[in-house]
Amino acid sequence: MDIHLSYADMSIISDEALKFFKMAYNKALEEKGFLSVIIAGGKSPLVFYDKLSADTKIDFSKIIFFISDERVTDDISELNYVSISERLFKNKKSYNFKRILVEKEDALSLYNSEVKEFLEKYKRFDISFLGVGYDGHIASLFRNEYDSTDYVIRTNAINYKTRNRITLNYSALNSSRFTVFIVSGKEKENTLRAVFTGKLKLPVSNITTPKYYLIDSSTVANLFI
């Protein structure tokens, strides 16, 4: 399998993520007038979100952001959309953020309908920015296969504080033109080695789009030893 990656400190790889974003943004605006992008929660992309938010040349009103997954909980500090909003949409008056409304009983069906309607009309997302868990999970997909092929499904995060999740399925994530993984955390070294050598099939291995790994060298040390 082809692996494309950059290995540098978080500031540099966040700059690279921004370059990928702007290339997709310019191409999408030229083709159809707006950009569609999948974004993830977690700590790894936060510096990238800061840089993206601060870029005055990007018109947020011409972007549709789709959240990759969400924790189903009443604890607001655990919700992905909160950390994303605080960093990415600060001081933004006009933006379109498609999030999973976990406060509603029909949150899953609402988001599935929204994603399905979008993909039926436009066929694919322009770009995705995802993280990778220490166990190789992406979004809230913890297994290689799920019974459902729906775009949005419910999953169980067994070894995590908030187990109940709603997430984009592989069927949605693989509808993206391109995927950028932003990865930090020393505990992920063995997982990344397994992915790059093909020794293990993990959820991240199921992404079939063209992809690029941006790896934070300040936390993921000695990766290629």
68-121 pLDDT per residue, tens: 999 999 999 999 999 999 999 988 989 999 999 999 999 999 999 999 999 999
Helices within 79-213 (DSSP H only): 80-88, 107-122, 170-173, 189-197
Q: What is the mean pLDDT of the chain?
A: 94
Helices within 7-151 (DSSP H only): 10-31, 46-54, 80-88, 107-122
Q: Which uninterrupted H or E stretch holds 154?
A: strand 152-156
- What secondary structure letter does DSSP report for 103? T
pTM metric for this prediction = 0.95
Q: What is the pLDDT of residues 175-210, one digit of tens each?
A: 999 999 999 998 898 898 888 888 889 999 999 999
Domain ranges of the chain: 5-216
Class of CATH domain 5-216: alpha beta
The pairing of strands 127-130 and 179-183 is: parallel
153 and 186 in contact (C-beta within 8 Å)?
Answer: no
Confidence check: pLDDT of 221 > 80: no
Q: What is the pLDDT of residues 30-71, one digit of tens each?
A: 999 999 999 999 999 999 999 999 999 999 999 999 999 999
Give the bridge partners for 176, in sequence order.
Answer: 125
